[in-house]
Amino acid sequence: MRGGSKQLRPLLEFPMSAAAEFRRREPVLIETGKAFAEPHRVYAEARRSGDVAVNEIGIFIPLRHRHADTVFDPALTRQIEMEPMFLRGISEGPLFEIYRDAMLFANGETHMKRRQPMARTFAFKLMDGMRPRVAEIAAEIIEANRGKGPVNFLDDFSRAIPSRIIAEIVGAPPEDWPKFTKWVADAARGIAFFTPEELPAINEGVANLNAYVARLLNDRRAHPREDFLTSYARATAEEGKLTESEIRVQMAGVILAGSDTTRTGTASILSQLLQHPDQWAMVCADPDKWKRAAVEEGLRYDPPVGSVGRVALKDLDIDGVAIPEGRVVSISLVSALRDPDVYPDPDRFDIRRTGLPRWNIAFGHGAHRCLGEALARAEMEEAIATIARLAPKTRIIGKPPTITGHVAIRAIDAMTVEFA
């Protein structure tokens, strides 16, 4: 492992009764299949029985909001690195290179040297400044489809906006946007749950995206502009600490990380608002006042990322449950964001909530907190606000979408709307 991190011990090395002599409490057993289909019901039942769960293969699942400080403490745990690739038997290829070289799957000094150049250029002020452009793109899509019948909201709106925005940020010309969007959609499946049958398409998407990013970077080095990609190329050159693969992969990783999460988040938030007409009316009456609260509550109610997996660097005790060194500890964001100790009446969607924690752990916590948070918030908030302004009578056609899954990036089924 890189950065001197400790090896992940095999998940099945310890039976669930192992280390029983150290335990004061047993974790609650969660069945993965049931949790995938009905995550909120399963985790609510688990919280009534205890504070920490475990699944069939021995992954420990802290359930409470307060557990974030422990699980994300770099002195106690580390980020998962290459384990997903090794467990799948993947030892080469474009997706393997993403896991090997991305800051998302690194720790310590390796993580910092990869993150710093991107953080210098992917700054909050710059990303928050994209709000007017997000609103313009959202308005274009609405005006092109208003009054013309059913719209595939997931593909034609909530995926189109982040894809267009990131394409413009990296300087992709308009004629490249369709293929760029497809490559991003194919490649993004590689950092979520995927089947072996999907791997060839994922690798093709990653390879195409990597090659495209490499061409753009080389162009900016030869012909600098006053844009994001030129700034990133300069920052990496000044630091001089990254390989060419690392430079390219950080850019590709940022593109991928904000694709499916923003797509799912925007759709889920609009769906909940339309299912609560009184709250949608509040947003429509004053979009700028309520857009942040709507997004904050939507991310709490059904977060696009279900959990964050870490590896214990030492024996841990979380609320009386002993977790041996080397085991995977995957805090459930689905559960923590409905913790009744932090969010009264947690199963109620309510954009009027007050007394919220300062940091929304839907974006992670600590050194690995989402670098693209400002951009994701800008995209979701301005998308919702623009619909409220231009198409307040928008309705869902058919049944509302369902978000399933409880680990990593979650899945959302179809969502069809009519802008009106």
Residues 101-110: tens digit of each pLDDT: 999 999 999 9
Half-sphere exposure of 29 (CA within 13 A, CB side): 6
Place of tokens 């609650």: 28
Q: Which domains does the chain have, with CATH numbers?
A: 2-418 (1.10.630.10)
- pLDDT > 70 fraction of the chain, expressed in percent and rounded: 94
Residue 13 binned pLDDT confidence (cut-offs 50, 70, 90): very low
Q: Which two tokens stand for residue 10?
A: 């095999």
- pLDDT > 90 fraction of the chain, expressed in percent and rounded: 79
- Residue 2 has a pLDDT of 40
pLDDT tens, residue by residue, 265-283: 999 999 999 999 999 999 9
Q: Which two tokens stand for residue 84?
A: 């997903």
Q: Three-state secondary structure along 369-405?
A: CCCCHHHHHHHHHHHHHHHHHHCCCCEEECCCCCEEC
- Residue 120 has a pLDDT of 84
- Residue 82 has a pLDDT of 94
Mean pLDDT of 287-307: 97
**10 Å Cβ neighbour count for 369?**
12
Query: Does 215 score more than 50 pLDDT?
Result: yes
Question: Could you tell me what percentage of the chain is helix, strand and coil, using 3-state DSSP and rounding each to the nearest 5?
Answer: 55, 10, 35
**10 Å Cβ neighbour count for 195?**
7
Helix (H, G, I), strand (E, B) or coil at 279: helix
Q: Which two tokens stand for residue 231?
A: 């700034």
Query: Does 19 score more than 50 pLDDT?
Result: no
Residue 8 binned pLDDT confidence (cut-offs 50, 70, 90): very low
Place of tokens 């699942």: 61
User: What does the alpha-carbon distance between residue 163 and residue 332 come to, in Å, rounded to a whole number?
Assistant: 28
pLDDT higher at 28 or 2: 28
pTM confidence score: 0.90
φ, ψ for residue 34, nearest 5 deg = -65, -40
DSSP state of 27: P
- Residue 164 has a pLDDT of 92
